[in-house]
Amino acid sequence: MYESDPEILLEARHISKQFPGVLALNDVGFKVYAGKVNAIVGENGAGKSTLMNILSGVYSDYQGEVLLCGRPVSFSGTADAQRQGIAMIHQELNLVPYLSIAQNIFLGREPLNALGLIDFPQMKRDTVDLLERLHFDESPEKLVIDLRPGQQQIVEIAKALSLQAKVLIMDEPTSSLSEKEAGILFRLIRELTENGVGVVYITHKMNEISLLADYVTVLRDGCFIEACPMEQTSVDELVRKMVGRERKDFFIKRQHRLGECLLAVKDLCLRDPLREGKYRLKDISFEVYAGQVLGIYGLMGAGRTELMEALFGLYGKQVEGRVFVKGRQVKFNNTNAAVAEGLALIPEDRKTEGLVLDMSIEQNTTLASLKNFLKHGLLSFKKERATVEEMRSKLEIKSYSGLQLASQLSGGNQQKVVLSKWLLTKPGIVLLDEPTRGIDIHSKNEIYKLMDDLAGQGMALVVVSSELPEIMAVSDKIICLCEGRLSGRFERDEFSEEALLKAALPDKA
């Protein structure tokens, strides 16, 4: 009944990949069809990124066979794979912070002029074209370090696009994009597939799977579970296959008894250092009580991250307005002052700001709370280990031991380590910026429960999330930001996706 399958551009057969202590892939097969979106789903640590790293030339030591247009190949590295038409947008950003957008895009393959020198005007024109396709309005000369994670992700996408690959692998490309930017990416994906490109798409967002996928492959614990056209399956069925067990109950928020007002913000403003007389945040006021979760919703660039950073003392004296902790006015001119008042910030960009890659899970987890493990001035390893083990099992951090290095964990499991680290500091006021980015649906629920427990213990939580269902599930009340201003306040019984989105969108007619 079905039209015969389209041409296979790239195929993995019987791939196994062993890391010290883990068999990351065990006899896995995967096909990339031309002109289709080929999705891969699976929980954190299932082996998705590892498989893609093999197909894009990152790893060359594996068992099994890779075929490109039916012919066996082995790539000597990523440059070799790129020459043969395979490009990958990595889950973790790989940009050089102190180079410009254009330099990053063309790094190592800069266009040359007749004299054999780098043709900067050409490079700039090509960059402008690429950025235009992505509706990204920045100068090609801007340094990558001055971009937010979402904007950096767009540069990664531009870089991959510039390779004009036959197979384009995207490993969680929307994890830090706004809904609008994700929409632009989806249109671009359609354009690419119409031109015969085989797109490989990895995501934890199941709505993206139903929207985009033509074919879908399920991996679980390094094993191939199934592959089929999306029209022959459903999201529920996929989730069941990913988890391999019945799905746990959905998270249901509890109502906690509210204590005192832990954090009150009055008319907070943040000046824009680049534009005279302009503000990045203007007249923001809110209160959070012990036992309460305040959600902050807004589109990217609305000022959500700036608000968290301003509260945490990262902008020092540029912040105007008043902040009260337990009714007492405070001034956070630096982060130490904020920490001393019991604040913790779990930042958006956890790879650079949250994790020491060549330390173990155990060391990373207790890094910020070591004083809690001192006994007569000595570190109690027993207590430390027991605590880490508890977090490791609660959050299901996939690893063979607490001594495993953070660099050897899958993306989602790294996020879980950073979360554990800050939660162990037992802050009074926790600021969480996109706490479940890159985390699979199963573990998301665990993190929601953990946040709910913290509120139950009398902490006040402020959570930024761009996922509407998430922010509505975890918050007691929500404020919306739009272009640096407060554009809506909602109590729990007033939550609806439409109302929140409407408040977050600029130019409301």
Please state the closest distance from residue 20 (CB atom) to ligand ATP, in A: 6
Among 28, 31, 39, 44, binds ligand ATP (CB under 6 A): 44
* Residue 292 interacts with, from ligand ATP, Mg ion, none (CB under 5-8 Å by kind): none
Whole-number minimum distance, CB 17 to ligand ATP, in Å? 8
Q: Is residue 413 at the binding interface for ligand ATP, with CB under 6 A as the rule? A: yes
Residue 199 dihedral angles phi and psi, to the nearest 5° = -100, 130
Q: Is 59 helix (H, G, I), strand (E, B) or coil?
A: coil
What is the chain's Cα-based Rg? 24
173 binds ligand ATP (CB under 6 A): no
**Distance between CA 432 and CA 301 in Å, rounded?**
17
Give the range of 20-28, 64-72, 254-262, 350-358 binding ligand ATP by CB under 6 A. Answer: 20-28
Question: Does the footprint of ligand ATP cover residue 12 (CB under 6 A)?
Answer: no
- Work out which of 127, 151, 153, 410 binds ligand ATP, going by CB under 6 A: 410
| Cβ–Cβ < 8 Å for 464, 479 | no
Query: How far is residue 185's CA from residue 179's CA, in Å, rounded to a whole number?
Result: 10
What does 229-243 look like in DSSP terms, one character per residue? EGGG--HHHHHHHHH
* Separation of alpha carbons 256 and 240, rounded Å: 32
Q: Which stretch binds ligand ATP (CB under 6 A): 44-52, 129-137, 370-378, 475-483?
A: 44-52
Question: Which of 222, 301, 303, 411 lies at the binding interface for Mg ion (CB under 5 A)?
Answer: 411
Nearer to ligand ATP, 409 or 468 (CB): 409
Binding site partner of 381, from Mg ion, ligand ATP, none, Cβ cut-off 5-8 A by kind: none
Q: Please tell me whether residue 217 binds Mg ion under the rule CB under 5 A.
A: no
Q: What residues between 300 and 339 interact with Mg ion by CB under 5 A?
A: none
Assess 50 for contact with ligand ATP (CB under 6 A).
Answer: yes
Of 217, 257, 248, which Cα lies nearest the Cα of 233? 217
49, 100, 152, 436: which one binds ligand ATP (CB under 6 A): 49
> 126 or 440, CB closer to ligand ATP?
440
Does residue 203 interact with ligand ATP by CB under 6 A?
no
Q: Which is nearer to ligand ATP, 41 or 451 (CB)?
A: 41
Instruction: Select the span of 6-14, 18-26, 29-37, 314-322 touching ligand ATP (CB under 6 A).
Output: 18-26
Bridge-based pairing state of the strands 343-346 and 328-330: unpaired
Residue list 75-114, contact with ligand ATP (CB under 6 A):
91
Number of residues that bind Mg ion (CB under 5 A): 4
Is residue 24 involved in binding ligand ATP (CB under 6 A)?
Answer: yes
Shortest CA distance to 311 belongs to which of 381, 354, 262, 362?
Answer: 262
Judged by CB under 5 A, which stretch of 41-49, 146-154, 189-197, 325-333 contacts Mg ion? 41-49
Q: How far is CA 35 from CA 145, 189, 215, 318, in A?
A: 35, 10, 11, 50
Rounded to an integer, what distance in angstroms lies between the CA atom of residue 60 and that of residue 317?
51
- Choosing from 9, 12, 22, 367, the residue that interacts with ligand ATP (CB under 6 A) is 22
Q: How far apart are CA 364 and CA 506, in angstroms?
A: 40
Q: Choose the stretch contacting Mg ion; rule: CB under 5 A; options: 4-12, 15-23, 87-95, 470-478.
A: 87-95
DSSP 173: T
436 binds ligand ATP (CB under 6 A): no
How large is the angle between the packed helices 120-133 and 149-162, nearest 10 degrees? 110
Which residue's CB is nearer to ligand ATP, number 362 or number 440? 440
Told to check if 47 binds Mg ion by CB under 5 A, we report no
Beta strands, E only, 172-278: 198-202, 215-220, 223-229, 261-271
Long-range contacts of 402-405 (CB under 8 A, 24+ apart): 402/360, 402/361, 402/362, 402/365, 403/360, 403/361, 403/362, 404/21, 404/360, 404/361, 405/357, 405/358, 405/359, 405/360, 405/361
Say how far apart CA 460 and CA 291 lie, in whole Å. 6
Options 29-37, 346-354, 400-408, 410-418: segment touching Mg ion (CB under 5 A): 410-418
Q: Please, which residue, 410 or 466, has the CB nearer to Mg ion?
A: 410
What span, in angstroms and rounded, lies between the C-alpha atoms of 473 and 475? 6
For 69-195, list the strands marked E by DSSP. Answer: 71-73, 86-89, 167-171
Q: Is 46 in the site for ligand ATP (CB under 6 A)?
A: yes
Quick one: what does residue 50 bind among Mg ion, ligand ATP, none, with the CB cut-off 5 to 8 Å set by partner type? ligand ATP
What residue 19 binds from ligand ATP, Mg ion, none (CB within 5 to 8 A, per partner kind)? ligand ATP
Q: Among 38-46, 143-151, 420-428, 447-455, which window interacts with ligand ATP (CB under 6 A)?
A: 38-46
Residue 93, token pair as written in the block? 């950003």
CA angle (18 as vertex; 14, 24 as ends), nearest 5: 75
Which positions lie near ligand ATP, rule CB under 6 A?
Answer: 19-20, 22, 24, 42, 44-50, 91, 398, 408-413, 440
Which positions lie near Mg ion, rule CB under 5 A?
Answer: 49, 91, 410-411
